[in-house]
Amino acid sequence: MKPTRRNVLRSGLGVAAMIGFPEIRGYSHSEIDERMKLEKGLNGLTKADLTTPVLILDLDLLEANIARMSQHAKAAKINLRPHGKTHKCPEIAHRQVKAGAIGLCVATIREAEGMAAAGVKGLLITSELVGKPKIERLVKLTRKAPDTMSAIDSLAHAQQMSDAAVAAKINFNVMLDIDPIGRRTGVPAGETAIALAEKIVKLPNLKLRGIHGYSGASSHVTGFEARHAHSMKVMTPLIETFTRLKKMGLPVEIMSGGSTGTYNIDTELEGMTELQVGSYVFMDVDYRAIGSKGGVIYDDFAPSLTVMATVISKSHSDRATTDAGIKAFSTDKAKFTPEIKGITGVTMSYGGDEHGILVFNNPGRDLNIGDRVEFIVPHCDPNVNLYDRIYCVRGEKVVDVWRTVGRYGD
C-alpha cells in the first residue's frame, strides 16, 4: 500500500476505531516517521499515541535553555562551542548555531561525521582519535570539513597524525589537550604541555590551534562557591600555559573548556575564549543536585528531556511497575535514579532491563495500570544514547521527531 496521507490515516485509525479508542493510535516508530513526513506540524499526534518507553523533548524548555546560555555568553563576550556528545542531534546543533554558537564539540569520529553531513561547521572533536581506522576517517572528514579540529596529548599520537596528514596532502587542525585534574586525558599544564606544544608545531601538516582542557571534576562540585573555587584553581594553570604559548609566538588562539556546571564561573577566567557546555540543553537529576548560585537546586536551565513510561502492573498496594527499566535510563550514577515529574511521594528503582518499580510513600495521586508517567533522566548524555529518536512536543502535541547520530556501531 502506497503511504498516501489517506492510507496512513486509515491504517492507523482503523484498528484504533475498532477497539474503541479513536483518539489514541498504535504506531511503530517507523510508521510515525512516515506520518511526520506527510503531515509535518499538522499530524494530530499526541504523546498518548507513542509507544513507551520513549524519549520526550519539550521544545519550549529546550529553546529557553538555548536562549539563556546564548545570552549569557554574549554578555560575557565569550564564544560558545556547545558539546554535541550530550544530544548527538543535528537539529539541536543547528539551533545552537543559529543562537550564536561558533561550532560544535563532539566526542567521536562518528558524531563528527554525522554533524558535518548535516552541515554543522566548526567541529572540535574533544577526544584523541588514536589508531589508523579513526585517523583514516578523520582524513576523509577533513577533506569535506577542513576546519575540523581534534585533540592530541602525546607525541606518539601527534606523529601518527602528522604522517597521515602528509600522506593525504591535507592539514589537521589540532588542539593540545591539557589535563586540569582528572588524570583521564591530557598532559599536565606548564612545562610538560609547553614541551609537547613545541614538538607539535614542528611536525608537518599539523596546525596547532589552541588548548582543550575539560575539568569534569569541577562541573559537578556541589554548591556554587565550592564549584567556583574548584574550577578557578584547576583551570588557572591552563590559562597560564595558554598565555605563555602565545608569548612564545606559538599560533594558539583558542582556549576551550568549561561545562554546564561552570558556565557562569569560567567566564571569569581571563584568556578563556570559548565554553563547551553540553548538558544545559536537557539537564538531568545529577546536575540539578549541584546547586545554583542562589539555591540547592540547580535550576538555571530547565529539565527539557524526559522518558515517558506506562504503568503495566500493579499487584501490590505499595508499588506499581512500569515498562521503563535499565535499558530506558542511564544507570552510571548509582546515586541518581530517574525523578518522577509532577507526582509527590513516589520514587523509582530499577526492576530489571525492562521494568521500573514505583515505590509509594503517601503518593500525590493514584497510579493505575495504563497510566503514563514521565521522568527527568539521571544523566542526560548516556540517556539520549539509548534511543534512536527524540520525540519533540509542545504540551501534549508531538510536533517533530528528531534522529540522533553516532551511536557505536552505527
Near a second copy in 345-384, by CB under 8 A: 350-355, 357, 368-370, 372, 379, 381-382
Contact pick of 35, 95, 157, 288 for a second copy (by CB under 8 A):
157
Count, residues near a second copy per rule CB under 8 A = 101
Closest CB to a second copy among residues 26, 295: 26
Contact pick of 38, 59, 64, 154 for a second copy (by CB under 8 A):
154
Range 49-88, binding a second copy (CB under 8 A): 49-55, 85
Contact pick of 225, 240, 253, 332 for a second copy (by CB under 8 A):
332
Q: Residue 214 is placed in which grid cell? A: 575539560
Task: Judge residue 35's burial from the number of C-beta atoms within 10 Å of its C-beta, 0-12 exposed, 13-18 middle, 19 or more buried.
Answer: buried
Say how many C-beta atoms besides its own lie within 10 A of residue 221's C-beta: 20
Site for a second copy contains 156 (CB under 8 A)? yes
Site for a second copy contains 397 (CB under 8 A)? no
Site for a second copy contains 28 (CB under 8 A)? yes
Task: Judge residue 232's burial from the number of C-beta atoms within 10 Å of its C-beta, 0-12 exposed, 13-18 middle, 19 or more buried.
Answer: middle
Q: Which helix (H) or strand (E) holds 110?
A: helix 109-117
Rounded to 5°, the CA angle 224-337-279 comes to 50
Nearest residue to 354 (alpha-carbon basis) of 399, 311, 331, 324: 324
Contact pick of 63, 292, 385, 399 for a second copy (by CB under 8 A):
385
Contact pick of 73, 78, 107, 112 for a second copy (by CB under 8 A):
107
We find the least distance from the C-beta atom of residue 296 to a second copy, in angstroms, to be 25
Contact pick of 34, 63, 163, 299 for a second copy (by CB under 8 A):
163
Site for a second copy contains 187 (CB under 8 A)? yes
Contact pick of 7, 10, 24, 191 for a second copy (by CB under 8 A):
24
CB contact set of 119 (below 8 Å; sequence gap of 6+) = 90, 94
Euclidean distance between CA atoms 219 and 290, whole angstroms = 9
Q: Are 78 and 273 in contact (CB under 8 A)?
A: yes
CA distances from 27 to 46, 201, 207 (A): 12, 56, 50
Contact pick of 101, 112, 164, 201 for a second copy (by CB under 8 A):
164
Site for a second copy contains 121 (CB under 8 A)? no
